[in-house]
Structure 1
């Protein structure tokens, strides 16, 4: 069906703000990648232009002299442990809240939802002293636990909406066949909530990978620095050493995994969020 001139103008008018917003978001990222291949002289002489030659020395300097490689490994450890621990805690909890009806189950679910409204900044000082008492301060494992617990309410909220749509008849049939409640949870319910699990895992992974403030508070030694703290250190150094190319290279190293992860799972994220919204 052909569109009228008015409909075409309306569609074009809607796309203009979206196009402007897209350019406003993508251009700084593009400029950052260009800067990562420039020397300091090129950055000062022509900050908005293309580099004369694509120089990879900035990446080498960031990886060796500023130990970005160690920080990347630390971020991978913290992100992986946090995401896995969050799922291990959230899946049984969401299943119990949705399927196991007990006195106070609705209150418990409301409590988890209410926890999403509480700013995490209010817990930083108590968590600092708690980790100090548990000898987990300046520990990647301690930071991963904090990350997992910080995203637990959101993860439970999303997974509960997925579990609520699974027919109870499947679980009843499995129970009649002699399957234990844990078997039902991990062999029937969990595979049927794959879209929700992938969605929350990717969102939590991006959140943990980019997190800065809690890492700044709970980590103290440079060998334990995550990627966000290492980039902050390079940023402070760049003001005095003019290592702007190295800073841009560090930012590129930090953002590339996120772009790749989102590009691979973009359809799954959109599908999971759409299904969760409809099912919820």
Structure 2
């Protein structure tokens, strides 16, 4: 009896704080979601209650009057190109570091790992002048390149952990069958590392979609704004125009893709991180 009571108290001591934390995290999101369907007058009159009628006017206003449609398109381009470019650069690099023995390979790997420890803010000013010299300043494609390079160390670190566990005998057999190193990489190593590739792809995509500070520095014109910059503009406008419903609607538009993406791939992400930690 004492043991069962102790187990109940122990489980309650763990679960109750987790439940309270979950409520504290989810309720502001739920409140924002409800606010996106309210008029400004209703937000002030009944900020914590349900809307009297679920209206899409705030979404229409955000989509048309505040160019959220253009910003969503820009964020989508930056995210897709940045994520794809990261994989194109990281997969061969991780394979070369892990499999090809050359002088300085370990030092190169340590260099990538150490780059993860350097705050990105230290590179913003040099990157600003570099993009200006290359005529890529205020250019979403230049921003996508910066995003891809910024996530290379993390991506290489994760992928090398997966590649290290693939038996070399598979590569040797493929080479005996006449496969070139490039064919071995893309037809054997890449499919067997797919769990890690999916993990870093989702994590990088979420990072690029939500990124704000580099977009603020490297983009100037509103036509090139990403979604984070457009929401920041609406937030500043809301202080003077009381467009809080529009702000909430734009926030809902921004977080829905992230929630859907994570909900679909959450098991793969958890599995990939766990396997990467064990294999590393």
Q: TM range, normalised to the smaller chain?
A: over 0.9
> TM-score with structure 2 length normalisation?
0.99
* Secondary structure in 1 matching 2:259: helix
The aligned residue for residue 189 of structure 1 is: 189
Q: Distance in 2 between matches of 1:17 and 1:107?
A: 44
CA RMSD of the aligned region, Å? 0.6
The CA deviation at 1:67 is 0.7
The CA deviation at 1:194 is 0.4
Aligned residues: 278
Q: Distance in 2 between matches of 1:105 and 1:193?
A: 20
Q: Distance in 1 between matches of 2:177 and 2:214?
A: 47
Q: Distance in 1 between matches of 2:127 and 2:272?
A: 32
Unaligned runs of 5+ in 1: none
Q: Distance in 2 between matches of 1:183 and 1:24?
A: 50
Q: Distance in 2 between matches of 1:125 and 1:161?
A: 33
Q: Distance in 1 between matches of 2:78 and 2:133?
A: 21
The CA deviation at 1:12 is 1.2
* Secondary structure in 1 matching 2:249: helix
The answer to whether 1:244 aligns with 2:244 is: yes
The CA deviation at 1:233 is 0.3
Alignment of 1:109-124 (within 5 A): 109-124=109-124
1:57-109 alpha-carbon deviations (Å, 9 max, x no partner): 00000000001000000000000000000000000000000000111111000
The aligned residue for residue 228 of structure 1 is: 228
1:120-161 alpha-carbon deviations (Å, 9 max, x no partner): 000000000000000000111100000000000000000000
Q: Distance in 2 between matches of 1:52 and 1:159?
A: 51
The aligned residue for residue 8 of structure 2 is: 8
1:15-66 alpha-carbon deviations (Å, 9 max, x no partner): 1111111011100000000000000001001111111101110000000000
Unaligned runs of 5+ in 2: none
Q: Distance in 2 between matches of 1:139 and 1:185?
A: 33
The aligned residue for residue 256 of structure 1 is: 256
The aligned residue for residue 48 of structure 1 is: 48
The CA deviation at 1:4 is 1.5
Q: Distance in 2 between matches of 1:224 and 1:259?
A: 24
Q: Distance in 2 between matches of 1:240 and 1:216?
A: 22
Runs ≥4 in structure 1, deviation > 3 angstroms?
none
The aligned residue for residue 211 of structure 2 is: 211
The CA deviation at 1:279 is 0.4
* Secondary structure in 2 matching 1:37: coil
* Secondary structure in 1 matching 2:253: helix
> TM-score with structure 1 length normalisation?
0.99
* Secondary structure in 2 matching 1:4: helix
The aligned residue for residue 170 of structure 2 is: 170
The CA deviation at 1:180 is 0.1
The aligned residue for residue 76 of structure 2 is: 76
The CA deviation at 1:170 is 0.2
The CA deviation at 1:223 is 0.4
Q: Distance in 2 between matches of 1:185 and 1:150?
A: 24
Q: Distance in 1 between matches of 2:264 and 2:244?
A: 30
The CA deviation at 1:202 is 0.3
Q: Distance in 1 between matches of 2:181 and 2:130?
A: 34
